[in-house]
């Protein structure tokens, strides 16, 4: 019998290879990396269940539910508002999936919580020119007066349906797409970043 070994692959394996690319002169404007080994769950609250759901989420993740298109992060977990009574929960540490599993069981009467960890790709984009590179494909206003750290948006970028959020003032952003669109997202971000010079990490 033939022995086969299955090796898990990240969504963007082989697409963001370490090195400096694009413009070679001057400082690098952008850093690009794939967020790996995250856990991600989609949360949709049932009608009039926000309050009890909030209690369970606080108990398991120690986080408040954001109101509107906002992000709240603490202790390696983040909640991202992406629609009315809908959030993405992200665990950046390995093994956060088991917490989401417990959370799902504890909040069955209040919300539908669905694990999408393997269904998404997340790219992190940071550096002084990250905003400019992003603005080339996104039609929302990214000016820090209206879109700043912990703001989130569900929108189109270069024809792809994305979830976008800002994680710090450097500025740094994370963009999530369905896994099958990861290669298209990576390709667009790299070509958009070329004129500024970028480093893949």
Q: Of 2-10, 31-39, 111-119, 149-157, which segment contacts another protein by CB under 8 A?
A: 149-157
Q: How many C-beta atoms lie closer than 10 Å to residue 22's C-beta?
A: 18
Q: Which of residues 82-111 bind another protein (CB under 8 A)?
A: 82-84, 86
First to last CA, the chain: 40
Q: CA-to-CA distance for 64 and 45, rounded, in angstroms?
A: 14
Contact 174, 131 (CB under 8 A): no
Among 161, 168, 187, 201, binds another protein (CB under 8 A): 161
Shortest distance, position 69 Cβ to another protein, whole Å: 6
Tokens of 144: 């820090």
Shortest distance, position 180 Cβ to another protein, whole Å: 18
Contact 58, 52 (CB under 8 A): no
Among 4, 7, 24, 139, binds another protein (CB under 8 A): 139
Q: Count residues binding another protein (CB under 8 A).
A: 15
145 binds another protein (CB under 8 A): no
* Nearest partner of 170 among 18, 30, 21, judged by Cα: 30
Which residues contact another protein (rule: CB under 8 A)? 68-69, 82-84, 86, 139-141, 146, 153-156, 161
């Amino acid at each position: 019998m033939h022995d086969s070994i299955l090796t898990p692959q990240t969504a963007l394996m082989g697409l963001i290879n370490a090195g400096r690319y694009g413009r070679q002169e001057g400082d690098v404007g952008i850093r690009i990396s794939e967020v790996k080994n995250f856990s991600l769950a989609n949360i949709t609250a049932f009608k009039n269940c926000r309050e009890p759901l909030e209690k369970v989420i606080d108990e398991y993740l120690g986080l408040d539910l954001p109101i509107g298109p906002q992000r709240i992060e603490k202790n390696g977990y983040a909640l991202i508002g992406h629609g009315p009574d809908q959030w993405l929960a992200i665990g950046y540490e390995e093994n956060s999936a088991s917490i989401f599993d417990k959370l799902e069981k504890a909040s069955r009467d209040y919300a539908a919580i669905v694990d999408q960890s393997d269904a998404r790709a997340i790219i992190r984009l940071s550096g002084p020119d990250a905003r400019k590179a992003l603005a080339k494909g996104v039609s929302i206003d990214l000016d820090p007066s209206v879109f700043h750290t912990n703001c989130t948006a569900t929108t189109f970028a270069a024809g792809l349906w994305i979830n976008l959020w800002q994680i710090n003032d450097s500025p740094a952003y994370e963009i999530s797409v369905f896994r099958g669109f990861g290669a298209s997202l990576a390709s667009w971000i790299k070509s958009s970043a070329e004129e500024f010079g970028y480093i893949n990490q």
